Chains A and B, each alone.
Chain A
Amino acid sequence: MMRAVLLAALLALPAAAQDFSAGSEAAEWGLQGERKARFAARVVDILCQLAGDCPPDCGAGTRQLGLLRSADGVLVLPLKNAQPLFSGAVADLAPFCGQMVEVDGLLVGDPAMTPAPVYQVQRIRPAKGAWAPANRFTADWAARNPEAAALPGPWFRKDPRILAEIARGGYLGLGPEADRAFIAAERGR
């Protein structure tokens, strides 16, 4: 019985206190407070978890998704997928809405400025399935933006939403005149 109590107390320890590195094959990125973490979790719609606002299929890729970790019930927040391309993890997690998966990646964050570690998903596998890299963002983006995808360059240089914002507010967000002054100064260096 004492053993069961100790186990229960261990499971209740804060996320930061536990080590999930066993079996991880995550690549190191040299990030703040980074540590490898492989764990089983259920993919959940965070709005549904917190506020009971639960559309079908977790909002079909239009909501932030979380990983409800089996070992301790902690809701882990994934910010990033495996691609070094300014891409989040929703496209990788959305197909598994409500399902149990195993993920491998990095818990990230300097404890001094991050209230709880956030997560980078590098690979994912469904229950009884094979591992797959968490790199669906660009294919998903290309399917939604076929004309832009046909142009040369990385997605973030040709995304219509980004281009519209830069056309409106400039690269600095302060208007075209601020951009012109900055670019001239940089060229003059």
Chain B
Amino acid sequence: MAGRHRHAVRAGLALALALVQPATAGAEGRHVTVTGEAIDTWCYFSGVMGGPDAVVGSAHHTCALWCAAGGIPVGLLADDGTVYMVLKLPGADDAAGGRGFLAVASHRLTASGMLHERDGIRYIIISEVIEDHGITRRNHEDFGVVPPFAIPEAGGE
């Protein structure tokens, strides 16, 4: 009985360690190339301004500028729906509101760098923007602008 108890304790500890391990692993990272849109991650994940299709592209470009300037993390939304949180971008010294991040807001980028995964979130340290495709999602034709007050001249304010 004591042996079985010790076995259960060992198994329990092993399970606990195995479950904890992903939280502390990942320091190595791996090199990846990703193509996706530079998005405003707060509006995308929180749904504060509507569904995910409305808070990307030209419809949401001005708000993406506001959020990038506000220091909200920029993500790369890949075609398969994966979001890579961008921790570094070449030419952008400031990853919390820097001009370099504003310059690519809503743009489709092909970029390479180191991928790290931690607690379910993917982070990318971009070392090279291989191609900037510009804004390819012209969804203002479907959604107008989001939020509606983004363009004062259009009667939004």
Residues of A within 8 A of B20 (CB): 11-12, 73
In whole angstroms, what is the CA distance A120 to B70 when docked? 14
Residues of A within 8 A of B153 (CB): 183
Interface residues of B in 58-104 (CB under 8 A from A): 58-59, 61-63, 65-67, 69-73, 81, 83, 85, 87-88, 93-99, 102-103
In whole angstroms, what is the CA distance A49 to B62 when docked? 32
Q: Any chain B CB within 8 A of the CB of A151?
A: no
CB contact between B16 and one of A12, A91, A113, A116 (< 8 Å): that residue: A12
CB contact between A50 and one of B71, B87, B99, B152 (< 8 Å): that residue: B87
B45 touches A2 (CB 8 A): no
B154 touches A172 (CB 8 A): no
In whole angstroms, what is the CA distance A8 to B14 when docked? 10
A182 touches B41 (CB 8 A): no
Within the complex, what minimum Cβ distance (angstroms) separates B106 from chain A? 5
A161 touches B73 (CB 8 A): no
A62 touches B45 (CB 8 A): no
Q: A9-B16, A29-B48 are in contact. Are A88 and B65 (CB under 8 A)?
A: no
Q: Any chain B CB within 8 A of the CB of A13?
A: yes
Interface residues of B in 97-146 (CB under 8 A from A): 97-99, 102-103, 105-107, 114, 116, 118-123, 125, 135, 138, 140, 144-145
In whole angstroms, what is the CA distance A86 to B146 when docked? 13
Residues of A within 8 A of B122 (CB): 115
Q: A50-B27, A73-B24, A75-B118 are in contact. Are A173 and B69 (CB under 8 A)?
A: no
Within the complex, what minimum Cβ distance (angstroms) separates A178 from chain B? 8
Within the complex, what minimum Cβ distance (angstroms) separates A144 from chain B? 9
A91 touches B71 (CB 8 A): yes
A-side interface residues, number (CB < 8 Å): 70
In whole angstroms, what is the CA distance A5 to B105 when docked? 47
Residues of B within 8 A of A29 (CB): 46, 48
In whole angstroms, what is the CA distance A76 to B150 when docked? 30
In whole angstroms, what is the CA distance A75 to B16 when docked? 17
B71 touches A88 (CB 8 A): yes
In whole angstroms, what is the CA distance A125 to B75 when docked? 28
Within the complex, what minimum Cβ distance (angstroms) separates B51 from chain A? 10
A64 touches B97 (CB 8 A): no
Q: Any chain B CB within 8 A of the CB of A28?
A: no
- Closest A-chain residue to B52, C-beta based? A113
Residues of A within 8 A of B99 (CB): 161, 164
Q: A72-B23, A73-B24, A173-B135 are in contact. Are A115 and B72 (CB under 8 A)?
A: no
Residues of A within 8 A of B23 (CB): 72-75
B94 touches A172 (CB 8 A): no
In whole angstroms, what is the CA distance A166 to B105 when docked? 11
Q: Return 7 A-B CB contacts under 8 Å, by A number.
A: A2-B5, A6-B12, A31-B46, A50-B87, A88-B73, A115-B120, A174-B58
Residues of A with Cβ closer than 8 Å to B? Answer: 1-2, 5-6, 8-9, 11-15, 29, 31-32, 34, 46-47, 49-52, 59, 61-64, 72-77, 79-80, 85-91, 108-110, 113-116, 118, 120, 137, 156-157, 159, 161-162, 164-166, 169, 171-174, 178-179, 182-183, 186-187
